[in-house]
């Protein structure tokens, strides 16, 4: 018998299992970790400043000196992409946090309140779900002003209906379980039933949805930035970087393609992690 294998801790065995059987998940974790690191410490990772222009180096192709090439003002696109992670990921975090917190509150009120309260709230949710998220986000940004933070607010408001609907469904499911009926029969108040019995057992699938919505929020904020509703130039933001390079696609493909690939990689990686989280919490 191999005593060395027996002496290995269980955590090592699980880590090896994930590495061998789920390489896509490991790659997704690495990509998201790198994106978060770029958002936390962009000045450490970026070789140049995001606004450092050098007309002598304008429209240089990707090289070891400029990994993503340079733009029409001679700015390093790789550095601008790294600094763009700050606004893009921060905005996505704000959007998901807003949608999650407000959506859970509304869903609990509808699911636990029932009756007329449930009917009124869900009809309003149906109205929100009938409006395309991008159109609703654009309307909110136009109302409150352009910028990444307003775009994040708009994306968060647009996602409230999704969180509220799932929360309501989970609350209705948990509310009918025997232990909730027993707590109600033993004299536990409404607040105690909601916060001690219903919400802890209903929130897990909602958190899985929040992980999935993170990638969706990144893409939505980048879309608003691309359309001109995000942070104005010259501040780097992922959607804006793609928009700035579209006029040079014929002879400077890297200006749009490489930042766009970064957005795709981060969104797909976040979605892969979210899928694994939702699979494990079922």
Question: Looking at residues 33-52, what average pLDDT do you find?
Answer: 91
pTM: 0.84
Whole-number pLDDT of residue 128: 87
What are the residue ranges spanned by the domains of the chain?
70-281
Q: Which of 33-47, 69-83, 135-149 has the lowest mean pLDDT?
A: 135-149
- Look at residues 51, 236, 234, 239 and name the one whose alpha carbon lies nearest to residue 141: 239
Distance CA 271, CA 97 (A): 17
Dump pLDDT digits (tens) for 193-212. 778 878 888 888 888 888 88
Dump pLDDT digits (tens) for 100-121. 999 999 999 998 888 888 889 9
Question: CA distances (Å), 133 to each of 165, 194, 239, in order?
Answer: 15, 30, 17
CB contact at 8 A, 250 and 198? no
Residue 271: Cβ within 10 Å count: 19
Fold designation for 70-281: MetI-like fold (1.10.3720)
Q: Whole-angstrom distance between the N-terminal and C-terminal Cα of the chain?
A: 37
Average pLDDT, the chain: 86
């Amino acid at each position: 018998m191999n005593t060395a294998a027996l002496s290995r801790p269980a955590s090592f065995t699980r880590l090896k299992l994930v590495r061998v059987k789920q390489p896509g998940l490991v790659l997704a974790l690495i990509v998201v970790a790198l994106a978060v690191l770029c958002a936390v410490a962009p000045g450490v990772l970026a070789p140049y400043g995001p606004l450092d222009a050098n007309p002598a180096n304008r429209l240089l192709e990707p090289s070891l000196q400029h990994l993503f090439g340079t733009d029409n003002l001679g700015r390093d696109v790789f550095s601008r992409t790294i600094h763009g992670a700050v606004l893009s990921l921060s905005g996505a975090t704000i959007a998901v946090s807003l949608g999650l917190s407000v959506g859970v509150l509304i869903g609990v009120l509808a699911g636990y309140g029932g009756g007329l309260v449930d009917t009124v709230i869900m009809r309003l949710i149906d109205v929100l779900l009938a409006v395309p998220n991008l159109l609703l986000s654009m309307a909110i940004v136009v109302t409150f002003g352009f910028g990444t933070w307003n775009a994040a607010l708009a994306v968060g408001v647009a996602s409230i209906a999704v969180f509220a609907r799932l929360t309501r469904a989970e609350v209705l499911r948990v509310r009918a379980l025997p232990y909730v009926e027993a707590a109600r029969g033993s004299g536990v108040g409404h607040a105690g039933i909601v916060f001690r019995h219903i919400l802890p057992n209903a929130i897990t699938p909602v958190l899985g949805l929040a992980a999935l919505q993170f990638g969706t929020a990144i893409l939505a904020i980048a879309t608003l930035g691309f359309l001109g509703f995000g942070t104005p130039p010259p501040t780097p933001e992922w959607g804006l970087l793609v928009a700035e390079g579209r006029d040079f696609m014929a002879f400077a493909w890297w200006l749009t393609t490489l930042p766009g690939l970064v957005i795709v990689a981060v969104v797909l990686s976040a979605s892969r992690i979210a899928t694994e989280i939702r699979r494990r919490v079922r």
